[in-house]
Homo-oligomer: A and B are copies of this chain.
């Protein structure tokens, strides 16, 4: 099922900066994407960690246009395009494909719970048919603890049978390695991304293609080294090193923590804004987070020089 353009490696669900009025800050987002690319990190913009579901469809379309207009390489982009409404998912996905994005990370419709595989199959099938573009590469987004709507193996099997070239892979953010392993075993050669780097080595050893991870926003280079060197003698040590950072950051509310880290290492207070319902870390949390990273000799080289427009 693979083709030469298949997305592989480490991707970041890029955090979305906001202006003081909470509107998205396209300039800063483009700067962050440029920095991530210098770290060999692909761009899963509009993911969960991007607060994408706190953005309107129009806001996402405008941001994507801006990124492409700013010269960000669409061959490295897998924007999130799955919305509650079929009509929104079609519009967002069609736009991403038209712009040349290499993949679309697609949540199932996530308001209604307990829906059937038949209903989810129809959702994805309608999107594929309505987008009607052979360049479309869908990555199914399995994150049941947030979406409330799991992607079952049976659903994947049915979609792969109906749309073998189009349904290109999955991001398994369940945090359940047994589930990732079951996908790898059931669909060899398929594009299975783990949802974090804690199991990146295991994923690669079992035929996976990389990871799409929140912490790739702040620790991309080390995670990429592990990806690139998974067959090297240093792989276990590299895995342990990225785990150390991931597990430390994971003690904090993750999206606020990521934004505080970017804000701190970029020397840019504007990055510390979140859209409701998310809230920034309090100062005690932030101090604990930043002190802990300093103790671990954490750095984000090159970040400050990529700073966006003044706020």
Residues of A whose CB lies within 8 Å of any CB of B are 22, 48, 53-57, 59, 83-88, 91, 108-113, 115-116, 118-120, 122-123, 126, 145-149, 275-279
Contact = CB atoms under 8 A, between A and B. Distances in A.
B278 A111 contact: no
Contact of A109 (B54, B116, B119, B148): B54
Contact of A53 (B55, B111, B276, B278): B111
Given A112-B278, A276-B122, A59 B87 contact: yes
Contact of A57 (B57, B109, B110, B111): B57
Contact of A148 (B119, B122, B126, B148): B148
Given A119-B279, A276-B122, A56 B88 contact: yes
Given A145-B113, A146-B112, A146-B113, A54 B84 contact: yes
Contacts of A91: 56
A109 B277 contact: yes
A111 B54 contact: yes
Nearest to A145: B113
Nearest to A55: B85
A82 to B, nearest CB: 11
Given A111-B146, A148-B148, A122 B84 contact: no
Nearest to A87: B56
B276 A55 contact: no
Given A56-B57, A57-B56, A148-B148, A277 B112 contact: yes
Nearest to A148: B148
B87 A126 contact: no
Nearest to A24: B87
A54 B84 CA distance: 6
Nearest to A117: B277
Contacts of A115: 277-278
A86 B275 contact: yes
A138 to B, nearest CB: 15
Given A111-B146, A146-B113, A148-B148, A119 B278 contact: yes
B278 A54 contact: no
A84 B84 contact: yes
Given A109-B54, A145-B113, A146-B111, A279 B86 contact: no
Contacts of A59: 85, 87
Given A118-B279, A119-B277, A276-B126, A85 B56 contact: yes
Contacts of A111: 48, 53-54, 110, 146-147
A278 B148 CA distance: 15
Given A108-B277, A148-B148, A54 B119 contact: no
Given A122-B276, A276-B123, A277-B119, A53 B112 contact: yes
Contacts of A85: 53-56, 59
B119 A276 contact: yes
Contacts of A112: 48, 53-54, 146, 277-278
